[in-house]
Chain A
Amino acid sequence: MQQRSNIRFMSRQEVLGYIMLAVILLAIIPLSLDVFRLNLIGKYLTYAFVALGLVLCWGYGGILSLGQGVFFGLGGYCMAMFLKLEASDPESTKIQSTPGIPDFMDWNQITELPWWWEPFRELPFALSAIVLLPTLFAFIIGVAMFKRRVGGVYFAIITQAIAAIMTILIIGQQGYTGGVNGITDLRTLLGWDIRSDSAKVILYYVCSAALFICLLLSQFIRYKKLGRILVAMRDREDRVRFSGYDVANFKIFVFCLSAMFSAIGGAMFTLQVGFMSPSFVGIVPSIEMVIYCAVGGRLSLLGAVYGTLLVNWAKTIFSETFPELWLFAMGGLFIAVVMAFPNGLASLFKRYIEPKLPAWYSGRAIDSKAPILETDSSIETGQANALGSEENIGLSKSLTKPEAGITVVPRTDEKLEGGVYVD
């Protein structure tokens, strides 16, 4: 009965999973790689924000967005605009015909900073814009689509179209956006040189920390009723609607949240890589980001991070050796994921590796305080396995896993014998 009144924030496995990821990201990788490679991993991690958003939006909510690059790009551009303005002080741009404006504007015969660039001189504004602007854009798309019950494939196609439009817009408005080259030659953040080695290490840690905050926020959502409503909505949208929920609002919420995560990733990208360009906005990068999420496992928050790291690492290795083959490999990978393991690496881990791990991992053997619950948890796992579907295993484990723990609401003991656990 305890697990009913107290579904825990994280299961034991999840706690261990987070600790593991923290050790890998914060200790193993920084200690074993040089600054160049570390910076590369930092760049990969910025995509993990997008993949994480997609787990919530696509894996849980069932809303496939093929335009997450738009939000990644918006976040990245907001950051880039601030950095570019800082780099374009009159002193360093005195050879331009109009000193004090970004170089690409000068090349495009623009003689005055556009009014909408002006507020990006202030860091607080730029930082709020990074978070709010893409979220607002997602909100507008969400209201326009979900309130009219546009969903599924149609929604995916529309988001893809938005990604294409966004790229065309950015490239077309060269004087305001830097066109196809993007916004380049970013140097300092409030006077701090972001190109130095020490800055790269620090930014790597900032990026990892931000990723962890987003992970924990996602974990929180999954643990609340909202997370279960998302799953319910994916399975039976009508039932949720006729249970008194305004389904569109939930979709808008999760879509906005995933946009916000993507935007934070985009801003971290700009900081670590030193530029932002339309090649991270369009259809191809948006779909690549879906692949990261799919490879990791679209139902697993941690899986999204590992999937992103793995695919990008493979991409780097592969394209260093056979650059022309990479896109084929990527396509093959996507087909393989869909055909062979639709719930990604996370499901392979659950099926093949988790059972081989020692008992302390699942916590069953040493948790002697709650024998009844242990029996129950094994029954449940057995049932989930009997169902044979990875999806069910993943969800019932993560969402309904019975937990022993601190009781929030005290329950009377006779209830424990109420027959609920006797199957």
Chain B
Amino acid sequence: MSTNREDFVLAVEGLTVSFDGFKAVNDLSFYVDEGEIRVIIGPNGAGKTTVLDLICGRTQATSGSIKFRGEELTRMKEHQIVHHGVGRKFQNPSIYDDLSVFENLEISYPRGRSVFGSLMFKRDREVIEEVENIAEIIFLQNDLDKPAGLLSHGQKQWLEIGMLLIQKPDLLMLDEPVAGMSVAERRKTAELLNRITQGRSVIVIEHDMQFVEDIAHRVTVMHQGKVLSEGSMERVKNDPKVIEVYLGH
């Protein structure tokens, strides 16, 4: 690994978080390149979701550093991290059921984010066009006026991805984006991810190995809060340590 951090979009170094003495993430380091799709896999409880929580500021790190384009994220608040260009999708579709698809996307549009900004916010042509544009990417262009609560599970996942896209993040973090999806939806999602990753880096947590093979540039295998193996899917798949703790069963 190069020590020149400026080459990386994200540089995680020596990251540790301890919950009452239990180290969910233990001295973890990894680096994500510009335009890379990185998939994190690992058995349950390996600390995958915790890593995303740490990056997006939901959990405070005990020690270590997370640098995004050279800026330290561990000291920022969640919304500041978002403003710097990190977007996060949750494991369960996290959308606003009572609002329409259009409004869900509109709220995520990166303008008028202060209290008074949101009072002054105008739904102008720019916003509408961007929302429609994103809706088309996430296959929801015909459902803009639907209350989001009526969407299918897969559509909700796409909507949340769309809500991230409209923020134009440089780093997109997706926690199990295809969990609970049908085979057809998985294929569509893989295609969607391949399309939207242009010009940005993506970290994905996923269990579905077929899906991982479809999208991953590189794979990081986590086990007990540490990196067990890292590299191409091919390499990771044949790593005896990985087979033992994860793929073997």
**Contacts from A to B (Cβ < 8 Å):** 1, 4-7, 221, 224-226, 228-229, 231-232, 235-236, 238-247, 249-250, 253, 376, 379-380, 383-384, 386-387, 391-392, 395-396, 399-400, 402, 408-409, 411, 419-420, 422-423
CB-based contact A231/B99 at 8 Å: yes
4 nearest A-B pairs in the assembled complex, by CB-CB distance: A244-B82, A225-B121, A226-B118, A232-B96
CB-based contact A238/B90 at 8 Å: yes
- Knowing that A226-B121, A400-B103, A409-B125 touch, tell me 18 more A-B residue pairs with CB under 8 angstroms: A6-B123, A225-B106, A225-B121, A225-B123, A226-B115, A228-B106, A231-B96, A239-B90, A239-B95, A242-B56, A244-B110, A249-B115, A379-B145, A392-B97, A400-B100, A420-B132, A420-B145, A422-B142
- 7 inter-chain pairs at a CB distance below 8 angstroms, sorted by A residue, are A241-B79, A243-B107, A387-B147, A399-B99, A408-B124, A409-B125, A420-B144
CB-based contact B96/A224 at 8 Å: no
CB-based contact B118/A224 at 8 Å: yes
The minimal Cβ–Cβ distance linking B82 to chain A, given in whole angstroms, is 4
Query: In the complex, what distance in Å separates the CA atom of A382 from the CA atom of B7?
Result: 53
CB nearest neighbor in A for B94: A239
CB-based contact A229/B118 at 8 Å: yes
Residues of B within 8 A of A238 (CB): 58, 90, 94
- Find the residue from A1, A228, A380, A423 having the highest chain B CB count within 10 A: A228
Given A4-B123, A242-B88, A244-B79, verify A399-B141 contact (CB < 8 Å).
Answer: no
Query: In the complex, what distance in Å separates the CA atom of A167 from the CA atom of B114?
Result: 35
Residues of B within 8 A of A380 (CB): 145-146
Residues of A within 8 A of B87 (CB): 242
Query: In the complex, what distance in Å separates the CA atom of A253 from the CA atom of B118?
Result: 12
The minimal Cβ–Cβ distance linking B156 to chain A, given in whole angstroms, is 11
Residues of B within 8 A of A423 (CB): 142
Query: In the complex, what distance in Å separates the CA atom of A246 from the CA atom of B99?
Result: 20
Residues of B within 8 A of A250 (CB): 115, 118
Residues of B within 8 A of A243 (CB): 82, 107-108, 163, 167
Query: In the complex, what distance in Å separates the CA atom of A409 from the CA atom of B28?
Result: 51
Residues of A within 8 A of B113 (CB): 244-246
The minimal Cβ–Cβ distance linking B225 to chain A, given in whole angstroms, is 23
The minimal Cβ–Cβ distance linking A391 to chain B, given in whole angstroms, is 7
Residues of B within 8 A of A391 (CB): 98
**Contacts from B to A (Cβ < 8 Å):** 56, 58, 77-79, 82-83, 87-88, 90, 94-100, 102-104, 106-108, 110, 112-115, 118-125, 128, 132, 141-142, 144-147, 149-150, 160, 163, 167
CB-based contact A231/B128 at 8 Å: no
Query: In the complex, what distance in Å separates the CA atom of A384 from the CA atom of B150?
Result: 9
Query: In the complex, what distance in Å separates the CA atom of A423 from the CA atom of B118?
Result: 31
- Find the residue from B90, B98, B106 having the highest chain A CB count within 10 A: B98
Given A400-B100, A419-B141, verify A7-B123 contact (CB < 8 Å).
Answer: yes
Number of A-B contacts (CB under 8 A): 139
CB-based contact B167/A244 at 8 Å: yes
Residues of B within 8 A of A402 (CB): 145
Given A241-B78, A243-B167, A245-B113, verify A5-B123 contact (CB < 8 Å).
Answer: yes
CB nearest neighbor in A for B143: A423
Query: In the complex, what distance in Å separates the CA atom of A244 from the CA atom of B85?
Result: 10
CB-based contact A236/B150 at 8 Å: no
Residues of A within 8 A of B77 (CB): 246
Given A4-B102, A226-B115, A235-B97, verify A420-B142 contact (CB < 8 Å).
Answer: yes
Query: In the complex, what distance in Å separates the CA atom of A283 from the CA atom of B221?
Result: 55
Query: In the complex, what distance in Å separates the CA atom of A399 from the CA atom of B98?
Result: 9
Query: In the complex, what distance in Å separates the CA atom of A392 from the CA atom of B146?
Result: 11
Query: In the complex, what distance in Å separates the CA atom of A232 from the CA atom of B108?
Result: 11
CB-based contact A228/B163 at 8 Å: no
Partner of B118, one of A7, A225, A400, A408: A225
CB-based contact A4/B128 at 8 Å: yes
Query: In the complex, what distance in Å separates the CA atom of A176 from the CA atom of B247?
Result: 75
Query: In the complex, what distance in Å separates the CA atom of A380 from the CA atom of B145?
Result: 7
The minimal Cβ–Cβ distance linking A255 to chain B, given in whole angstroms, is 12
Query: In the complex, what distance in Å separates the CA atom of A408 from the CA atom of B127?
Result: 13
Query: In the complex, what distance in Å separates the CA atom of A351 from the CA atom of B121?
Result: 33
CB nearest neighbor in A for B78: A241
The minimal Cβ–Cβ distance linking B190 to chain A, given in whole angstroms, is 24
Residues of A within 8 A of B112 (CB): 225
Residues of B within 8 A of A244 (CB): 79, 82-83, 110, 113, 167
Given A245-B79, A380-B145, A399-B99, verify A5-B125 contact (CB < 8 Å).
Answer: yes
Partner of B78, one of A6, A242, A249, A420: A242
The minimal Cβ–Cβ distance linking B128 to chain A, given in whole angstroms, is 5
The minimal Cβ–Cβ distance linking A386 to chain B, given in whole angstroms, is 7
The minimal Cβ–Cβ distance linking A418 to chain B, given in whole angstroms, is 8
